[in-house]
């Protein structure tokens, strides 16, 4: 049974490094139904997650993740297609193991995508927003347990968990911002929970991302999260019920638009570092 510790991450890193001779600058992590974002990558290598030592790949058939290395507009990138969720029963140290490996690899920034439900009435299904802050209501944290000092300090700062420079670029691109509340799931929220989330200051709610954001920040990576609003939350639209199928459909329909935003963002990052 892997412990998802430093030595295991080192082994995973060494395996991945066989396939690439450049250090990726940007990592992209695709959420549910958003695997098509890979189309923007000039791929150099495709690695099956299940072949990487200690990599926590999903055991569900057809859901084995892939890792793609290559370039977007000339910038070296690595993309993780498919992620694990807390609600699948994996410990948060497994869910965030890929971020550990990305941090050790020397990646500068991580662009994470996810699906969310809208708490705020000013959002609509199909909207894509940048997350500017989060509220962790998962009742868990990936950093709980003995601290690995080679990875992060005991009490990492989270004041700028969502990198202000990346947010400024996205704002300039016309992308609106919102606060993401993370719940464990997998049941959707009740209407009363949705009203509570609104009172707490959440604009959207989802079941992923926050553990990854915590670990990436703790390792000093710049983080940016693009959230695709799949639905209005429970109780907002009269008589409407929540459906996981609908979430996937909206995600698949939004993947191309999201991919375009990520490509533009990466092009602007390229412009900044030249």
Comparison of 116 and 120: residue with beta carbon closer to ligand HPA: 116
**Shortest Cβ 251–ligand HPA spacing (Å):** 8
Question: Could you say which of 163, 217, 231, 254 contacts ligand HPA (CB under 6 A)?
Answer: 231
Residue appearing with tokens 């959440």 = 202
Comparison of 13 and 210: residue with beta carbon closer to ligand HPA: 210
Contact range with ligand HPA by CB under 6 A, out of 5-13, 162-170, 226-234, 263-271: 226-234
Question: Could you say which of 54, 71, 116, 254 contacts ligand HPA (CB under 6 A)?
Answer: 116
- The 3-class SS string of the chain reads CCCCCHHHHHHHHHHHHCCCCCCCCEEEEECCCCHHHHHHCEEEEEEEHHHCCCCCCCCCCCCCCEEEEEEECCEEEEEEECCCCHHHCCCHHHHCHHHHHHHHHCCCEEEEEEEEEECCCCCCCCCEEEEEEEEEECCCCCCCCCCCCCCCCCCCCCCCCCCHHHHHHHHHCCCCEEEEEEECCCCCCCHHHHHHHHHHCCCEEECCCHHHHHHHHHCCCEEEEEEEEEEECCCCCCCCCCCHHHHHHHHHHHHHHHHHHHHHHHHHHHHHHC
Question: According to CB under 6 A, which residues from 192 to 211 bind ligand HPA?
Answer: 205-207
Comparison of 162 and 180: residue with beta carbon closer to ligand HPA: 180
Comparison of 47 and 183: residue with beta carbon closer to ligand HPA: 183
**What character string, x for contact with ligand HPA (CB under 6 A) and - otherwise, covers 232-271?**
-x--------x----x------------------------
**What character string, x for contact with ligand HPA (CB under 6 A) and - otherwise, covers 65-104?**
----------------------------------------
Cβ density class 252-268: b for 16+ within 10 Å, e for less: eebbeebbebbbbbbee
Using the rule CB under 6 A, is 180 a contact of ligand HPA?
no
| Residue number, nearest CB to ligand HPA | 117
Using the rule CB under 6 A, is 189 a contact of ligand HPA?
yes
Using the rule CB under 6 A, is 38 a contact of ligand HPA?
no
Please choose, from the candidates 128, 27, 24, 29, the residue with its C-alpha nearest in 3D space to the C-alpha of residue 82.
29
* Number of chain positions touching ligand HPA (CB under 6 A): 13
Using the rule CB under 6 A, is 31 a contact of ligand HPA?
no
Question: Contact positions toward ligand HPA, by CB under 6 A?
Answer: 115-117, 188-189, 205-207, 230-231, 233, 242, 247
């Amino acid at each position: 049974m892997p412990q998802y510790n430093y030595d295991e991450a080192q082994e995973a890193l060494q395996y991945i490094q066989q396939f690439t001779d450049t250090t990726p600058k940007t990592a992209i992590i695709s959420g549910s139904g958003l695997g098509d974002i890979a189309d923007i990558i000039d791929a150099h290598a495709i690695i099956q997650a299940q072949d990487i030592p200690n990599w926590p790949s999903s055991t569900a058939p057809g859901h084995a993740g892939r890792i793609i290395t290559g370039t977007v507009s000339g910038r070296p990138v690595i993309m993780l297609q498919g992620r694990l969720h807390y609600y699948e029963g994996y410990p948060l140290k497994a869910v965030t193991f890929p971020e550990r490996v990305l941090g050790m690899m020397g990646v500068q920034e991580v662009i994470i995508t996810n699906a969310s439900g809208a708490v705020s009435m000013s959002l609509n299904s199909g909207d894509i927003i940048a997350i500017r802050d989060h509220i962790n209501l998962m009742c868990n944290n990936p950093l709980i347990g003995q601290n690995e000092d080679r990875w992060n300090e005991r009490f990492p700062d989270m004041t700028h968990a969502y990198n202000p420079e990346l947010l400024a670029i996205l704002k300039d691109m016309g992308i609106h911002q919102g606060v993401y509340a993370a719940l464990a799931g997998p049941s959707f929220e009740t209407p009363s929970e949705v009203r509570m989330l609104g009172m707490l200051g959440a604009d959207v709610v989802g079941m992923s991302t926050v553990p990854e954001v915590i670990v990436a920040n703790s390792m000093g990576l710049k983080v940016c999260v693009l959230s695709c609003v799949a639905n209005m939350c429970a109780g907002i639209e009269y008589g409407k019920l929540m459906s996981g199928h609908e979430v996937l459909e909206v995600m698949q329909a939004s993947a191309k638009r999201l991919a375009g935003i990520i490509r533009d963002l990466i092009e602007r990052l390229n412009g900044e570092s030249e």
